[in-house]
């Protein structure tokens, strides 16, 4: 397994743990790899009392990129407490962009990475 595949797996692991921390009962993840691109799709429900924790997802996932930081620290993804903003910021550094669709009790994420 290459480093790029491991990075993709770490992203999925961290997002899964994040939604478990939001009391998700349903998490669906799909990964599609074509040529030098990876698309990660995740749909999850969450306890509406945690909606405030989702309000910053766009900031964390589409924030300023630092490829060097993502390349150095990617192995730390999944090592902190679930839902820590530092873990989401790290995922944001590991992806190129994210599309976020937030509903009352469900969220859909589409994350894009170029390998």
In the chain the domains, ranked by start, together with CATH numbers, are: 3-114 (3.30.565)
Q: How far, in Å, CA of 70 to CA of 53, rounded?
A: 23
Q: How far, in Å, CA of 18 to CA of 15, rounded?
A: 5
> Has residue 8 got a pLDDT over 60?
yes
The per-residue pLDDT for range 43-52, each reduced to its tens digit, is: 999 999 998 8
pTM value is 0.84
> Has residue 66 got a pLDDT over 70?
no
What is the predicted pLDDT for the residue at 28?
98
């Amino acid at each position: 397994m290459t480093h790029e595949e491991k990075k993709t797996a770490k992203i999925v692991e961290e997002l899964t743990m994040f939604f478990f921390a939001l009391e998700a009962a349903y998490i669906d993840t799909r990964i599609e790899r074509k040529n030098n691109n990876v698309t990660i799709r995740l749909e999850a429900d969450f306890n509406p009392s945690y909606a405030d924790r989702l309000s910053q997802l766009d900031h964390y996932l589409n924030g300023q990129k630092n490829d060097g930081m993502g390349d150095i620290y990617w192995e730390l993804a999944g090592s902190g407490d679930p839902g820590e903003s530092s873990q989401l910021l790290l995922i944001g550094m590991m992806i190129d962009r994210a599309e976020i669709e937030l509903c009352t009790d469900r969220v859909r994420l589409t994350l894009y990475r170029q390998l």
